[in-house]
Structure 1
């Protein structure tokens, strides 16, 4: 398997990360998960916007190879061309260079691109409940992927131990935030409801695209701080990430018919038609 390390195409087993490494020492960076297809990168405008926002929040300078839509596409294409699969799951890991302790010494970043075959996740979620051991907290970097990764590791352990398909994470104030690796939303009386970023969840790229689709269809979309009982009163519940949009059929003891909900089906069908963005 080949990887791109700071723009150099090399075998994965040849990667050598020099020390000190601020990504390893302080988690000083972020990552992005992308999907490559023959037409290019899915949801490119939304990924690029989150990357630019994350770099600004962390005080990092995006390398030229990653800083614009055409540059990012060309960079990923360089790696994707080494793999035989037409659909690939691309992980971009970016971390600050230099040394120092907590105080950084540079804005320069190092980066690594890896690839693996893309596996969609679109089957309905049959066993879901609210997390009991993990809470989320809003911060200047809670919207991006990476700085709070250990929180999601703990949530995934709880999901595994409780033998659930998914768990819904709440904020410290008790508001619905997201799931372990996907945004969450629900439909009630013709309106889509999603948690606001203030609940502490990641700003989902697939959810941002879905919102653009809903706007184009004239479907009302509301982001806010919601208690769990508001989700439990919904007509349909779903999760969304780059791997897929999944209907949630049960949360705790509450049952839904999300997979057959007409508005959710309409929204998903329209979203599938244009993955490049609006």
Structure 2
């Protein structure tokens, strides 16, 4: 039997836990993090919790004194131990409690931690490139909340359904300026003559933990990386394109529509990072 952690209590994973008046259910009032656990380590945990705390402040949660990053880390570890996991995807959901739009019972966080086992080779650099498409029926706003991992994910939800119905691996989400934001599950990078480009947070993309990791570490490896707005035209002129998220640190994109991409620089990036961070870039 698998378990989940609901506000510090380990209960069977199929247990009903949400009241019909819950603000997370009614309004999407909350945040989430998806964290990779491997070889006894919660990968990029500091980046995940820093982003989460920024989100809690932005959404005006009232954080109890004992509700700390260390406390949540212990609660995640408790669930991992209970479910006897060695390699897993961890989802940490933070929602507010019951109440209407103007009259919440309180502003305290309620948390749910779930886990799913992963295959040992999950997250390896893919040899069969991804095929992407553009999704334009919903756009990503560029505001104070657009970079957060909040629970209002309609553009990503509909983009994922669009990608599946069009036999694509993922869909590229556009922002209010009709430029590139990200994809439904990842940040996006393009490579032009060896230089790496990715949209800045002001363009509405999620503040991905792996995105930040690459921004911090790729220049130290000798790679040029630039945060700049990306148009569809610029993206389609790229030599190479790749995606990143916490579960799959580098994913090669083979094609967007009819445009195909190589992966020589991507292989160099992955090889360089795997030498220094083998636990992450397996």
| TM exceeding 0.5 | yes
Does the aligned pair in 2 maintain the 1:188–1:235 contact within 8 Å? yes
SS of the equivalent of 1:13 reads coil
Deviation at 1:133, TM superposition (A): 2.5
Pick from 152, 158, 175 the counterpart of residue 171 of structure 1.
Answer: 175
Runs (5+) with no aligned partner, structure 2: none
Deviation at 1:260, TM superposition (A): 6.2
TM-score normalised to the size of structure 1?
0.89
Deviation at 1:94, TM superposition (A): 0.8
SS of the equivalent of 2:84 reads coil
Q: Distance in 2 between matches of 1:86 and 1:226?
A: 38
1:138 corresponding residue in structure 2: 142
Q: Distance in 1 between matches of 2:33 and 2:66?
A: 15
Q: Is 1:248 the counterpart of 2:256 in the alignment?
A: no
Q: Distance in 2 between matches of 1:59 and 1:154?
A: 28
Q: Distance in 2 between matches of 1:273 and 1:65?
A: 35
User: CA 1:116–1:74 in structure 2 vs 1: closer, same or farther (change >3 Å)?
Assistant: same
2:74 corresponding residue in structure 1: 74
SS of the equivalent of 1:14 reads coil
Deviation at 1:257, TM superposition (A): 0.7
Runs (5+) with no aligned partner, structure 1: none
Deviation at 1:269, TM superposition (A): 2.6
Deviation at 1:215, TM superposition (A): 2.8
2:50 corresponding residue in structure 1: 49
Of the structure 1 ranges 107-116 and 263-272, higher mean CA displacement relative to structure 2 is found in 263-272
Q: Distance in 2 between matches of 1:126 and 1:112?
A: 32
Alignment of 1:1-278 (within 5 A): 1-62=2-63, 67-68=68-69, 70-102=70-102, 104=104, 106-119=106-119, 120-121=122-123, 122-123=125-126, 124-244=128-248, 245-258=250-263, 261-270=266-275, 272-273=277-278, 275=280
TM-score normalised to the size of structure 2?
0.88
Does the aligned pair in 2 maintain the 1:38–1:87 contact within 8 Å? yes
Does the aligned pair in 1 maintain the 2:172–2:180 contact within 8 Å? yes
